[in-house]
């Protein structure tokens, strides 16, 4: 379980870094790429959280 929590935390941290890069980027293509990356990493972290919540309530 700790592995899942660590992975979730790492994904959230990586998503925050992607958002920071997105906000600092001047090129439109880079902003779009890092925005998609930010959303994807957050979605993965959300799925881990949902799986853990489902597992804990079962």
pTM listed for this prediction: 0.89
Dihedral angle computed from the Cα positions of residues 32, 41, 15 and 33, in that order, rounded to the nearest 10 degrees: -10
The C-alpha atoms of residue 58 and residue 49 are separated, in whole angstroms, by 14
Residue 45 falls inside a structural domain:
yes
Is the pLDDT at 58 greater than 90? The verdict is: no
DSSP-derived secondary structure letter, 3: H
Residue 37 falls inside a structural domain:
yes
Is the pLDDT at 29 greater than 80? The verdict is: yes
Is the pLDDT at 43 greater than 90? The verdict is: yes
Domain residues for the domain of 43 are 2-52
The count of structural domains within the chain is 1
H or E segment and range at residue 27: none
Residue 39 falls inside a structural domain:
yes
């Amino acid at each position: 379980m700790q592995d899942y929590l660590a992975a979730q935390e790492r994904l959230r941290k990586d998503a925050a870094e992607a958002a920071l890069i997105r906000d600092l980027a001047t090129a439109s293509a880079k902003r779009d790429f890092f925005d998609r990356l930010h959303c994807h990493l957050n979605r993965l972290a959300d799925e881990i959280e949902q799986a853990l919540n489902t597992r804990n309530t079962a």
